[in-house]
Amino acid sequence: MKRIYLMIATICMVLSFSSCSDFFEEDSNYIINADDDHLSNATDTIYSVTGILNKLQAIADRTVLFGEVRGDLTDVTEATSSDLRALATFTVGDDNAYNVPRDYYAIINNCNYFIAKADTAMRNNRNENIFKAEYAAVKAIRAWTYLQLVTTYGKVPFVTTPIMTKEDSERDYEPIDIKGVCRYFLNEDGLKELVDQEYPDYGNIKGQPSKMFFIPMRLILGDLSLWNGDYMEAAKYYYGYITNRNGDNSSYPTGTDSFEYRDNTSWMSAGGSWVSSLLTENASSNAEVITVIPMDSIPSEGHYSQLGNILNTSSDNDYKVSLVPSKALENLSAEQFYCHYDTKNRKYVIAPKRQDAYWDGDLRLLATCQRNDNSITPDGTKYTSQYIRKYGTKNGNIHIYRRTMVYLRMAEAINRAGYPHFAYQILASGISNKIITDSIAKYYSAEEAAMLLNTFQFPDARYIVYRPDNLLSNSNTLGIHSRGCGFSPENPHYKMPVNNAITDPKALREWQQEKVEDMIMDEEALEFSFEGHRFYDLMRVALRRNDPSYLANKVYNRKGAGNVAAMKAMLPDLTDTNNWYLKWNGQIGIGY
């Protein structure tokens, strides 16, 4: 078997993987190993790395569903399977099809094996370290997988050495929680020393750049720091990714993609580049998508994403979807105010409310979810169609990181580090050095302002802030809220929170931090609906505030304010954090 799979891997390398029918043709459940004690040649090393990527495919859909179905932005339907419904009601049992922790440990064990066996001391005739790129990439994947695992199960057996025997698989491994996972990977695993290490590049696989299949080191370090409460460190890691993604001291601005009203007469025409930017998977310098788990393109292959089938009506699911936008999402979207620039009269106007959840307020829901109550099947039956455009591409790859996420997590981190005005401007206007100088620095001491400008450089020549009343052809920076709500800096309904009743500057800053954090969480809901982040965002804030009711009340509100009592009666007590997590079935699932 080893010889056959190595042949496949080698052929794929030669052809830039373009002709392989599946991404990673491998079916071992546990360890993808070589015969030698070390992985010391390119074939074995690439074979092992692609095997790890294969294992990621098994958890791809779950990564989205665990984060979305347990939150407040989606709701189940009559067609929802019992396993998926159990996720939504926090009643997942041992036999639930989604409760398979061994799939995570299959990734982790293969990473452990690679880390233990890869000969990172080997150098070529130019004295270049041969396998350090793969070594760094695998370490980042392992850390990311543990973060997904522990935020899903609460406490997990922690294993950092390869399990090679039945006896090893049956040992009792110490379970650790989110803080333990963060401490290990931030302080003991050596990830920080690999932050500038380049990752492998195997060319294109099925037309996609293979470097999009890896977890950027600065982003996983930022996430770990954010969960651990190291807020300024987290902000620096996210900023470090932004400023180094395209080369040393480069730029990675937010872009100006949005979904907007085309006129202010009928208020019936809207469009824009926002959704298309989310679906474009390339490695260009301004790409929105950063990391994907590549999935197979046809259902007969082993790792085909089912999210399109869960979210979009088609003949394959008898025109019945399993998840729909929740009332909470519809209400949040409709509650926003859209600020339109009237080019004819050169003034800003607020779009009128039309009592339509998709056309009122933020237009990203309209752009994301296309619904029609009068669709007709081929046999003439009337039905309600649903098309979630984020899952409308044929390849069905699962997106893990994208540019807007980096900016919003940086906003979350820098707000909690003590700079809510900085975080607010990421939402409202976008960031440049001029924005920092003119709109942020005045709220802080001279020392703090100097630190911000020295630590977070957004040169005005590289980060050019967009204004519809002063168009610049090279504008490349837009406030995140403006992606769906028009031009936020001129929106009287979208302002930095103030409280004149609080006279103590420290108390005011703490109050503003919480209010801006609420704005960030709303923004993440509007921007990332259906992408699998919501429950974890709520969890992170609830833990940070030491207030489980923050998460509980959001989930209880899933069906709207009028159904909160019914939701409380149906769901377990979510003010008890033990009920947030899937129940551990007692096994890591690595057997022989």
SS3 for 457-526, per residue? CCCCCCCCECCCCCCCCCCCECCCCHHHHECHHHCCCCCCCCCCCCCCHHHHHHHHHHHHHHHHHHHHHH
- Give the rounded distance of the alpha carbon of 577 from its chain centre: 23
255 contacts 476 by C-beta, under 8 angstroms: yes
The mean pLDDT of 394-407, rounded to a whole number, is: 92
Given pLDDT bands bounded at 50, 70 and 90, which one contains residue 496?
A: very high
**In the prediction, which pLDDT does 432 show?**
97
155 contacts 179 by C-beta, under 8 angstroms: no
Residue 509: how many other CB atoms lie within 10 Å: 16
Identify each DSSP E strand in 296-397 by its residue range: 323-325, 339-342, 347-350, 369-376, 382-388
To the nearest whole number, what is the mean pLDDT of the chain?
Answer: 89
Q: What angle do CA 42, 188, 33 make, to 5 degrees?
A: 30
**In the prediction, which pLDDT does 357 show?**
78
Model pLDDT for residues 418-440, shown as the tens digit of each residue: 999 999 999 999 999 999 999 99
For every residue of 82-133, DSSP letters joined together read HHHHHHHTT---TT-TT--THHHHHHHHHHHHHHHHB-TT-B-TT--BSSHH
Q: What span, in angstroms and rounded, lies between the C-alpha atoms of 180 and 251?
A: 34
The mean pLDDT of 239-245, rounded to a whole number, is: 96
Lowest mean pLDDT, pick from 75-79, 252-256, 406-410, 586-590: 586-590
C-alpha gyration radius of the chain: 24
The mean pLDDT of 377-393, rounded to a whole number, is: 92
The mean pLDDT of 234-259, rounded to a whole number, is: 94
Distances (CA, A) of 509 to 118, 351, 417: 49, 32, 11
Reduce the secondary structure of 385-404 to three states and give it as a string: EEEEHHHCCCCCCEEEEEHH
Residue scoring higher pLDDT (492 or 265): 492
151 contacts 539 by C-beta, under 8 angstroms: yes
Residue 447's contacts (CB-CB under 8 Å, 6 or more residues apart) are none
Most confident region among 86-100, 300-314, 573-587 by mean pLDDT: 86-100
Model pLDDT for residues 273-321, shown as the tens digit of each residue: 999 999 999 989 999 999 999 998 777 667 899 999 999 999 999 999 9
**In the prediction, which pLDDT does 515 show?**
98
Distances (CA, A) of 202 to 102, 209, 421, 464, 507: 28, 8, 42, 34, 52
| Whole-number percent of the chain with pLDDT over 70 | 89
**In the prediction, which pLDDT does 271 show?**
96
Position 550 pLDDT exceeds 80? yes
Q: Computed from CA positions of residues 3, 8, 9, 13, in that sequence, does the dihedral angle turn out positive or negative?
A: positive
The mean pLDDT of 130-152, rounded to a whole number, is: 94
131 contacts 119 by C-beta, under 8 angstroms: yes
Q: Computed from CA positions of residues 480, 486, 490, 495, in that sequence, does the dihedral angle turn out positive or negative?
A: negative
Position 329 pLDDT exceeds 50? yes
Position 21 pLDDT exceeds 50? no
**In the prediction, which pLDDT does 587 show?**
66
Given pLDDT bands bounded at 50, 70 and 90, which one contains residue 27?
A: very low
